[in-house]
């Protein structure tokens, strides 16, 4: 069995059998052999005891009809029946408890395996997924596995045993009586097989449509602000109703399949045939009244598997479909591997791109990019929106992998680094800040987990100019912020992200327009903190702020995925027409800088552009804002 790539694994984690949904389910069940054996043995003993009751009842009939004293014998029969009922109840409790624990542990194990697998999938994989559908599989489909076990498998096992053991008991009464129950058993098997074949595609559609319904609801809730500001509530309501109606129609179709369920009719015919056959044998003197009563009692036990199968087999079918949907995620290929044996050295920060090309699917984003950053250098990356700036930085920590060429850190290909060691020494501050619904302190310390103490967190917050507003929150650093930080302003979220990066002490720092939502006064203070942490660290800086570009030891100019030119800010202003046009345009739309020296640089750049490569009104307008995904 091939081992799939994974960016994250747990040492000694259980490896399930993923060759099919049934094998996968069984591989989880055998992890808990004690409960599985306890459930099966308890169910077997319970059905054996249950099947002995009709025989004792028949014996009581023969005893009553026989001449002579019967009190003692009837007393023994009654005591035996009482003992069977009591023991059966206790064993039934053991069986039910065992299968319930088995069901919940299987649900837990399946959810753990799915969650760990999702953590190990690449960013490319997650880009292809709908969050709502993933949540439906992680929550509802996993829960369906528990329902499949209890009451689904529980009832199926009981019904199978109660369909087989009574027939065995009938054989002990008179083998000739097997005619009717055996014919019923064959007809029942064929009918169930037909029923399951018709139910399977309906069950598959139900689970898929539930995923669609959940995905649509998730998108509407996550985009509720857009829905409201565009007054599209009615459109979203109709969309949800359409998805809900489709899901409802699948339930109706399932009901139509169940309405044509034949085994109950077959059992009625089999019972009538059994009664007729028993009466014939009784008339011939081959059966006693007690045998006939026992025979009909055992035939009545076949009603349980017949009636319950319409419900239990539906749960089994839904469980297998859910397992298949979960297994599809588990087995989907991911592009990157953890490389547990890879390089784990401490980084010096030397970064080299050698003819790097990358694209999403068939759409190229970067083409033959080559540059070098010495340890401790700051590299500014500029270019119009969509030129590939953010994508370039995501190749450094292997969020994505290069299609061609290679990236070296300290002379080692990033693909030869241990992935955890690589990423733990690189920090990224993006414009689209991701915060979690947790206390502020935990959000700042997220990259270090339990290793960060409160003093270090507070110090990082002060350096990021976040301490003041954190102290004003209701519970200070223990304040739980809303999901994705919606209870904070854009500038506050970015300051928390900067504090998070400050705390990790990275060897390579990536700043992706990280101060775009901060006012000028606060930005000046934050930039002082950032400049302090840049000392001794290799930094990739995506920005439209001229004051930040001035820090850079080297500037990379990206246009449509190609590295057009590289050099210092002054060198590019002097020799690159495109670079001058970009900054001439920026100076027309940007707010005045508080830095007079920077203002003069911009003016110098404009004068140079006007004298040689002036930007005409009909020329292209270049947006230096890198806030959106550069693809």
> Is the same domain home to 341 and 327?
no
**CATH code, domain carrying 403:** 3.40.50.300
pLDDT of residue 101: 95
Checking if the pLDDT of 366 tops 80, the result is yes
pLDDT digits (tens, 9 = 90+) for 378-415: 999 998 888 899 899 999 988 888 999 999 999 999 99
Determine how many CB atoms are found less than 10 A away from the CB of residue 393: 24
pLDDT at 614 over 90: no
- 271 and 253 both lie in a single domain: yes
Q: Give the three-class secondary structure for 488.
A: coil
The pLDDT of residue 611: 36
pLDDT of residue 81: 93
Quick check: is 496 in a domain? no
Give the model's pLDDT for residue 516: 59
Residue 363 sits in the same domain as residue 312: no
- pLDDT given at position 218: 77
**Section 23-37 average pLDDT:** 92
Q: Which residue has the tokens 């959940």?
A: 214
pLDDT exceeding 70 applies to what percent of the chain? Answer: 85
When pLDDT is averaged across residues 321-328 and rounded to a whole number, the result is 89
Q: At what angle do helices 490-504 and 520-534 cross, to 10 degrees?
A: 10
List the Cα angle 450/456/462 in 5-degree steps: 135
**Segment 431-460 mean pLDDT:** 83
Q: Kindly state the average pLDDT of the residues 545-565.
A: 87
Full domain range(s) for residue 397: 337-425+511-520+541-631
Mean pLDDT of 151-168: 91
Question: What stretch of H or E contains 85?
Answer: helix 71-120
65-81 per-position pLDDT tens digit? 887 677 888 899 999 99
Q: Are 132 and 248 part of one and the same domain?
A: yes
Query: Over 90: is that where the pLDDT of 622 sits?
Result: no
Minimum mean pLDDT among 144-158, 246-260, 348-362, 606-620: which range? Answer: 606-620
Inside any domain, residue 608:
yes
| Structural domains in the chain (count) | 2
Whether residue 57 is found in the same domain as residue 177 = yes
**Predicted local confidence at residue 272, as pLDDT:** 94
Cis preceding-peptide flag for 151 (omega within 30 of 0): yes
**Taking residues 147-151, what's their average pLDDT?**
91
Structural domain includes residue 378: yes
Domain-ending residue, one of 284, 308, 331: 331
Contact status, residue 481 vs residue 440, Cβ threshold 8 Å: yes
Give yes or no: residues 362 and 273 share one domain: no
Q: How far apart, in whole angstroms, are the C-alpha atoms of residue 289 and residue 607?
A: 116
Structure confidence by residue, pLDDT tens digits, 488-530: 877 788 888 888 888 877 889 898 876 655 666 666 666 666 6
Q: What is the Cα–Cα distance from 82 to 87, expressed in whole angstroms?
A: 9
């Amino acid at each position: 069995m091939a081992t799939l790539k994974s960016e994250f694994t747990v040492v000694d984690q259980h490896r399930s059998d993923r060759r099919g949904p049934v094998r996968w389910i069984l591989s989880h069940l055998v992890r808990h052999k004690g409960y599985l054996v306890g459930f099966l043995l308890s169910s077997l003993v319970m059905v054996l005891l249950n099947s002995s009751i009709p025989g004792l009842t028949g014996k009581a009939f023969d005893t009553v009809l026989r001449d002579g004293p019967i009190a003692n014998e009837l007393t023994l029969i009654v005591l035996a029946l009482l003992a069977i009922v009591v023991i059966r109840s206790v064993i039934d409790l053991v069986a039910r408890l065992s299968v319930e624990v088995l069901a919940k542990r299987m649900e837990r194990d399946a959810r753990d395996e799915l969650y760990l697998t999702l953590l190990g999938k690449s960013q490319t994989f997650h880009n292809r997924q709908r969050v709502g559908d993933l949540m439906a599989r992680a929550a509802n489909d996993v829960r369906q596995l528990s329902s499949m076990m209890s009451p689904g498998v529980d009832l199926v096992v009981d019904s199978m045993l109660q369909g087989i053991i009574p027939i065995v008991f009938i054989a002990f009464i008179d083998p000739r009586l097997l005619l009717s129950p055996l014919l019923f058993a064959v007809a029942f098997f064929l009918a169930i097989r037909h029923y399951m074949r018709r139910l399977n595609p309906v069950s598959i559609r139900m689970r898929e449509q539930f995923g669609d319904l959940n995905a649509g609801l998730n998108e509407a809730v996550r985009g509720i602000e857009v829905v409201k500001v565009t007054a599209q509530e009615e459109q979203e309501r109709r969309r949800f109703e359409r998805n809900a109606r489709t899901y409802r129609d699948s339930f109706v179709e399932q009901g139509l399949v169940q309405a044509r369920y034949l085994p109950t009719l077959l059992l009625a015919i089999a019972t009538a045939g059994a009664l007729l056959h028993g009466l014939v044998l009784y008339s011939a003197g081959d059966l006693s009244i007690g045998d006939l009563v026992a025979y009909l009692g055992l035939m009545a036990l076949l009603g349980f598997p017949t009636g319950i199968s319409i419900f239990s087999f539906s749960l089994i079918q839904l469980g297998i479909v859910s397992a298949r949907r979960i297994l599809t995620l588990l087995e989907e290929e991911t592009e990157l591997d953890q490389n547990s044996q890879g390089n784990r050295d401490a980084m010096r920060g030397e970064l080299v791109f050698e003819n790097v090309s990358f694209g999403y699917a068939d759409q190229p984003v970067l083409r033959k990019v080559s540059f070098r950053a010495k340890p401790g250098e700051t590299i500014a990356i500029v270019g119009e929106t969509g030129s590939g700036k953010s994508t370039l930085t995501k190749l450094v920590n292997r969020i994505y992998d290069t299609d061609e060429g290679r990236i070296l850190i300290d002379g080692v290909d990033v693909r030869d680094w241990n992935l955890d060691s690589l990423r733990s020494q690189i920090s990224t501050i993006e414009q689209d800040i991701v915060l979690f619904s947790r206390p502020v302190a935990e959000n700042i310390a997220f990259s270090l987990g339990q290793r960060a103490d409160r003093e270090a967190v507070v110090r990082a917050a002060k350096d990021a100019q976040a301490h003041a507003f954190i102290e004003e929150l209701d519970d200070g650093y223990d304040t739980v912020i809303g999901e994705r930080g919606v209870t904070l302003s854009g500038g506050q979220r970015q300051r928390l992200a900067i504090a998070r990066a400050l705390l990790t002490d990275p060897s390579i720092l990536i700043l992706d327009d990280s101060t775009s939502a901060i006012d000028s006064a606060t930005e000046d203070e934050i930039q002082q903190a950032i400049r302090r942490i840049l000392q001794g660290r290799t930094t990739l800086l995506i920005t439209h702020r001229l004051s930040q570009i001035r820090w850079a030891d080297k500037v990379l100019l990206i246009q449509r995925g190609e590295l057009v030119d590289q050099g210092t800010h002054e060198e590019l202003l002097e020799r690159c027409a495109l670079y001058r046009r970009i900054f001439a345009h920026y100076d027309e739309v940007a707010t005045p800088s508080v830095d007079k020296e920077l203002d003069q640089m911009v003016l110098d750049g404009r004068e140079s552009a006007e004298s040689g490569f002036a930007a005409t009104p009909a020329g292209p307008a270049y947006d230096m804002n890198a806030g959106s995904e550069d693809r």
